[in-house]
Structure 1
Amino acid sequence: MKNFKTFSVIACCMLQLSANAQNGWKIQPVAIQTRWAKEVSPANALKEYPRPQLVRKQWQNLNGLWQYAITPKGASTPTAYAGEILVPYPIESALSGVKKAVLPNQNLWYKRNITKPTLQNGERALLHFGAVDWQAVVLLNGKTVGTHTGGYQNFSLDITDALQGGNNELVVQVYDPTDQGPNPHGKQVLSPKDIYYTPSTGIWQTVWMEIVPAAAISNLRLTPDIDKGVLHVTVDAPAGSEVVLTASSAGKTVSTIKGNAGTELLLPMKAAKLWSPADPFLYDLRVQLLKDGKPADEVQSYFGMRKVEIRKDAAGYDRIFLNNQYTYNLGTLDQGFWPDGLLTAPTDEALAFDIKAIKAMGFNTIRKHIKIEPARWYYHCDKLGMMVWQDFVNPPHHMPEGAKEEFEKEVAATITQLYDHPCITSWVLFNEKWGVFDQQRLTEWVKHTDPSRLINGHSGEILYVNEKLRSPSPNAWVSADMTDVHSYPDPMNAPAHPGKARILGEFGGIGVFIPDHQWNPMSAWGYIQVTPSALKAKYTIMNQHLQLLEKEGLSGSIYTQPFDVETEQNGIMTYDREVIKIPFEEMRRIHRPLVANNGTIPAVTAQAADITDPGQLYSQLLQQYIDGKKDPAFLRKLAMTAQQVDDKPGARLAAADYIASLKTYSVDDLAFIMQTTNSAKDPGFAIVQQQAAEIDRLMGGRQAEVKMMNIIYKDEIQAAVSKPDAQPDWNQLAANVSKYGAAGEEILLRAKTIHYLNKQEWDDFAKAAGEYVSKYGNTLRPEELNQYAWTAFERVNDAALLAAAASWSELSLKASENNAAYMDTYANLLYKIGKKEDAIRIQTNAVRIADDDSLKETLSKMQRGEKTWK
């Protein structure tokens, strides 16, 4: 049963700016960039061996310049390409050299040539992809050699038989609907804002080719058992092979064993040195494959001996124990985004820097938030000593057809991919009800699949923001090892449940903006805002409360967050990793009562934040303006700073002067105009109207139209519809907005539709929606069309209005083929207007696609000739 819900009239959206690809690679303009961006070039793009736990010598890095093209989704392989892209940086990123958006109705194509390697004695050539978001089809010399679905998981293809002598044309076709499909997508959305960020489409981790013997090792599964003093090892290799395992330390053999591939072997590790954040000791592991008693393959790996569990401490509290000792998990919520590379770190040094910086702050845990990192990130955590709570990447909130199956498939692949890393101590299944389903079954399945780690079945299903309970839930942590709450901004304890550790899965989010180090100076989002000078005291008090809560049984906490991310400016460091808002040594001092020994502190550098009050800095700029300083760069900075300190008149004045100084409009200028234009009276409004096509081309989607409609609604319509007893004069409103053209008409029709929908005046709603959809239905998202249609089905009886609603439903189906919920709506509407045979045919198809009891019940009613509506 679909639930009726209140609609917002408009939702402002903002897509990542893009720029035309240039002939020859260069980093594209970006608001801020990291210190490592200048080190990136086509010759050295992420050159390190990408898989540290399965290392071979014979490999070729395929990162570098490829050709790219963007085509409509159904188009065939392109014959011409638009330019060059630097792999593996996402096409939306500045480091790609392209910085273009790819929409859900488009495909992205990559092309390059590879040379057939010399192969001897039956050797095979494998093509490896670290990650491609989301669906990939790989073609070699025009023939498909493999496909893969999953935006965060690696995959490999044997391309030996498709290779020809000399050059070979390698093409990768990518489809990525971002947040519009059934794919787990994390924080990536087409309209970034607040806690959601710019998408990354296509290849975003290293691509490489590797030569392996005819009989080769394909995977290792390593499970330490410190109590029994053994390492459980399973080597995936051809049946009938033998393997020799040799553990060593500093070049000296510690233990060795021989056994069959594909079976679990027990490598003795008596009196092993244990892995922990205080002492992240790792053993080297050599794995040799024997075929008919002779060496056939060899890989180098490593492992750590550690154990994690829930046990009672001396006071009777259920706690997290590491290596049989209670260890408070002091963590931070790491998103893994970069201003210049988006999902992809500029360099391996940059990738390691984040972990080093977090350890230098005094944390011993990272919650890796709904992103799977490259293998080298976990390698750095293993080497540096950082416990990781690894989130699975959430399914989409709206859970379209196929989302559940795709989520489960990707969870299973993630566990396999990351299993051997000792740093990972806990899996986080769901976050704050995002796409939650079958929680108990899936929690138990993860625990059964990997009993060596803890399972946080639901982080923050009970969620408090500013002391208001937002999401209570019965049986919230069923079958999990933890009870976990999120509390913003101030910390609180989770409920006590027998056998479960109490966890504060997220808290904090203190917003502090640092001028000249912001992705978007017009936005500085945080759960609360304080000045730089006030941050240290506020953060210290929060951590003192953690100490009090720890005495009451709290076993771990996750602070949001270590780095600013796009419009979120609540990090301890800025997004460009240049400024730390509380010095490293002060952070360690604050954290020391909970983490007394965090091992060797890495050497990292960052500027200390200027703690001068931002209002004082702005006042100085404003006085310069009064004294006559009016150059364009100064005016732009003044406008941004005015907005940050909430001087709206000053922001309008400086923005108007800056816009008036422009003769032509760069990408950044258009972005500034979009951000600072808030009224039809602002000078930027006319520019948005004039430059609408260019803004939409650069930003993707309908950014200019949406901006204009937001403004028209606020200026001309909102006052007439906002009161509960409002009776708008639609004719007068139509006359008022007519001067704005299509944007005025569209927002008025939308406002009229939503007004009657919220007032529950059903026939008037259906009439208004009919006019709105007939003119602008192609701009509406399928789920909104479906909601309109379902509402009409449930609430309207007029045959003509129902027939119109059926056309809306049909439009939603055209945009989302094989969506069982949309089919159900369409079938119900057809059935209600008397088209029984068509309704039964469509509902039968819906049942075939989705094995859902409610759909089956509706079909049975249709077949019996009973009403399907109340």
Structure 2
Amino acid sequence: MMRKEYPRPQFVREQWQNLNGTWRFAYDDHNVGKKQRWYLSEKNFTKEIQVPFVYQTELSGINDRTIHECVWYQKEFELASLEENQRVLLHFGAVDYEAEVYINQQFVGRHEGGHTSFSFDITEALTAQGQIVTVRVWDPHEDETIPRGKQFWETESRGIWYTNSTGIWQTVWLEIVDQTFIESVTFTPDLDRGIVDFLMNISDLVDNLFLHYKISYKGLLLLDETMKVMTKTSRVGLDVYQNRIFRSNFHDKGWTWSPEEPNLFDVELTLSKNEQIIDQVTSYFGMRKIHTESGMTFLNNQPYYQKLVLDQGYWEKGLLTAPTDEDYKKDILLAKEMGFNGCRKHQKTSDPRFLYWADVLGFIVWGECASAPSYTEKAAERLTKEWLEIISRDYNHPSIITWVPLNESWGVPEIHHDQQQQHFSEGLYHLLHALDKTRLVISNDGWEMTISDICAIHNYNHGSKEETKKYEWYKETLATKQNLLMYPAGKWAIYAKGYQHQGEPILLTEFGGIGYRISEQKGWGYTSVESSEEFIEEYRRIMAAIYASKGLWGFCYTQLTDVEQEINGLLGYDRKPKCDLSEIKKINDQFFPERI
């Protein structure tokens, strides 16, 4: 199986070359490959692997769960002859954790960070004949400064920890571009003014350079204009509403993006030099606004109740990597079928293909990043770097409405009283807002928050159906805003020492976790049932406490699917439903319409 779809749907060029498929592969358990210069030949590559699946997966063709901290990849590929002034870019969707890349025995670049994309200009290393790419990956599992999220540092997964992933886990691909090309494009919607701020960066400034842009909406051409490019960075405000007021979803269905109406604008960009086309890119954006006011969240200036599901983003045969592009689409459609309008992508940065389908199908995403196990200055530096790259890559996706830089004090275990860790939390909050004014930011999802746009609380203390006193206490805890802020989430305070609620909306962002085994897989959940009928009743019982609350403005249920030993999903690890999904939808559709 090979992932063949275009890997970067927000920034598309027609001419590209997929390098997924069979690669030579080797373990380097003694870390001698660099010293012995394995990139000079193929003699040490004794295995084969199917990229983009890590060696720990069945789809890789290796399926080895033992730990190998250093691994090597190698592949031969062909390129068409380059024309004058053409360059070749080599792209990696994601490599966990540190990658060093060689082309034809020459080092071309290094990237650190396991969840974000990177690329190198490899033109100078190409030869007249066939090409060879070699990749060394270093993934030290006991280094507690590395953001690894749910990946376990031991061989066998257990508890809330899953099988680790090492190496290439997203698509590898090539593009041939002119020496002068469009490097990036960002779209910042201003829904109230009907304007999108368009920012383009180009690689090189030359004479007689022009950009032609077309913006259309469902086939209706709105803008068709040309501008002369005078600087490497060009910014312009584009009036997509054309001064018409009936575009806001208030009077009609409008042109805005939402889970109910996922409207998108198509963009075509053509860069020309001396009247010759040198680059063409297609993209899209959505007119979407998210903000908070009066203790509520607002989507496109209307109160919006968020019904989210926790999504770990793991697959039985591919771990972090979906077996096919259709699997991303399937997960979203199944969640929407159950009445959820979004997900919190947990301890993982989403593949751009998942975000594409969320944009197209209408599905809110809370973007998260893997946490490091402990706090050090190095861990803080690494997590910050990862977030800089996440914002850069995913900025244009309208489906992402919230960033979650920290979760349950992972990586900041002393944040309740330690001012250094509090400063780090505040620093991430302000950094993300400094880079992105279009989204909300949660400082520390779960508890011990500092400054935050949403008060995000985790609470699994609903007990089983036999624990009636515990359940009544749970209902009382959720009943009002005052109670939600008064009672701790387990043993942890809602806010870190020196911080308090500032009127932000309160959401219950982890709860539930009903355990129901539908396969031979043994595992655990926060409560357990023995039949699909019991599963529905348990879900109804837990959700009744949510719907009775007069203080909550949304929820995130744990969780979408089973993952390894966690059998607390609404779906099995293979995405088989555990009950009649229409019954889950009926329950989810009961939230207070009168409050909206």
User: TM-score range with shorter-chain normalisation?
Assistant: 0.7 to 0.9
Runs of 5+ unmatched residues, structure 2: 248-254, 413-420, 463-473, 479-483, 486-499
Letter in 1 for 2:218: A
CA distance in 2, matches of 1:290, 1:265: 18
Deviation, structure 1 residue 530: 2.0
CA distance in 1, matches of 2:509, 2:356: 24
What whole-Å deviation, never above 9, does each CA across 1:441-470 have from its counterpart, x for those lacking one? 221121121111001111012xxxxxxxxx
Matches within 5 A, 1:560-709: 560-578=558-576, 580-594=577-591
CA distance in 2, matches of 1:449, 1:107: 34
**1:540/1:285 CA distance change after superposition, 3 Å:** same
Could you say which residue in structure 2 is the equivalent of 1:509?
513
Could you say which residue in structure 1 is the equivalent of 2:402?
426
Paired residues of 1:102 and 1:201 also in contact (CA < 8 A) = no
CA distance in 1, matches of 2:461, 2:519: 23
Paired residues of 1:116 and 1:165 also in contact (CA < 8 A) = no
1:226 aligns with 2:203: no
**1:570/1:179 CA distance change after superposition, 3 Å:** farther
* Matched position secondary structure for 2:459: strand
CA distance in 2, matches of 1:548, 1:130: 44
CA distance in 2, matches of 1:281, 1:59: 28
1:243 aligns with 2:215: no
Could you say which residue in structure 1 is the equivalent of 2:220?
252
Structure holding more strand per residue: 2
CA distance in 2, matches of 1:425, 1:335: 18
Letter in 1 for 2:454: M
Judge which range, 583-592 or 126-135, deviates more: 583-592
CA distance in 2, matches of 1:564, 1:142: 43
Could you say which residue in structure 2 is the equivalent of 1:450?
436
1:310 aligns with 2:292: yes
1:542 aligns with 2:533: no
What whole-Å deviation, never above 9, does each CA across 1:456-515 have from its counterpart, x for those lacking one? 111012xxxxxxxxxxx4xx232x111111000436544393341111111111111113
CA distance in 2, matches of 1:229, 1:311: 21
Could you say which residue in structure 2 is the equivalent of 1:374?
351
What whole-Å deviation, never above 9, does each CA across 1:389-413 have from its counterpart, x for those lacking one? 1112212x23356211111101111
Matches within 5 A, 1:155-304: 155-178=118-141, 180-191=143-154, 192-237=157-202, 238-239=204-205, 241-259=209-227, 260=229, 262-270=233-241, 271=244, 272=247, 273-292=255-274, 294-304=276-286
RMSD of equivalent CA atoms: 1.9
Quick one: percent identity of the two aligned structures? 38
How many equivalent pairs are there? 525
What whole-Å deviation, never above 9, does each CA across 1:501-551 have from its counterpart, x for those lacking one? 1111111111111134x2xx3xx21112222232211111222222121xx
Could you say which residue in structure 2 is the equivalent of 1:107?
70
**1:571/1:343 CA distance change after superposition, 3 Å:** same
CA distance in 2, matches of 1:595, 1:294: 58
CA distance in 2, matches of 1:539, 1:291: 61
Structure 1 runs (4+) greater than 6 angstroms displaced: none
Paired residues of 2:65 and 2:163 also in contact (CA < 8 A) = no
Letter in 2 for 1:574: G
**Structure whose CA Rg is larger:** 1
Deviation, structure 1 residue 587: 1.3
**1:402/1:48 CA distance change after superposition, 3 Å:** same
When normalised by structure 1's length, the TM-score is 0.59
CA distance in 2, matches of 1:477, 1:556: 20
Could you say which residue in structure 1 is the equivalent of 2:496?
none
1:388 aligns with 2:388: no
Runs of 5+ unmatched residues, structure 1: 1-39, 313-317, 462-472, 597-870
1:130 aligns with 2:93: yes
Letter in 1 for 2:308: G
What whole-Å deviation, never above 9, does each CA across 1:187-232 have from its counterpart, x for those lacking one? 0113221111001110000011111122111111111111010111
Could you say which residue in structure 1 is the equivalent of 2:493?
none
Paired residues of 1:489 and 1:528 also in contact (CA < 8 A) = no
**1:594/1:166 CA distance change after superposition, 3 Å:** farther
Could you say which residue in structure 1 is the equivalent of 2:450?
477
Paired residues of 1:361 and 1:588 also in contact (CA < 8 A) = yes
Letter in 1 for 2:535: L
Paired residues of 1:364 and 1:595 also in contact (CA < 8 A) = no
Letter in 2 for 1:287: L
**1:400/1:448 CA distance change after superposition, 3 Å:** closer
CA distance in 2, matches of 1:97, 1:287: 40
Deviation, structure 1 residue 381: 0.3
CA distance in 2, matches of 1:387, 1:121: 45
CA distance in 1, matches of 2:378, 2:592: 44
Could you say which residue in structure 2 is the equivalent of 1:704?
none
CA distance in 2, matches of 1:56, 1:319: 40
Q: Which has the higher contact order (CA 8 A, sep 6+)?
A: 2
* Matched position secondary structure for 1:110: strand
Judge which range, 282-291 or 385-394, deviates more: 282-291
What whole-Å deviation, never above 9, does each CA across 1:97-155 have from its counterpart, x for those lacking one? 01124636x41000110113221131111111000001000011111011111100001
Could you say which residue in structure 1 is the equivalent of 2:468?
none
Deviation, structure 1 residue 440: 1.4
CA distance in 2, matches of 1:168, 1:418: 31
Paired residues of 1:92 and 1:98 also in contact (CA < 8 A) = yes
Deviation, structure 1 residue 592: 0.8
Letter in 2 for 1:280: P
CA distance in 2, matches of 1:295, 1:415: 30
Structure holding more helix per residue: 1
Could you say which residue in structure 2 is the equivalent of 1:89?
53
Paired residues of 2:350 and 2:367 also in contact (CA < 8 A) = no
CA distance in 2, matches of 1:74, 1:398: 29
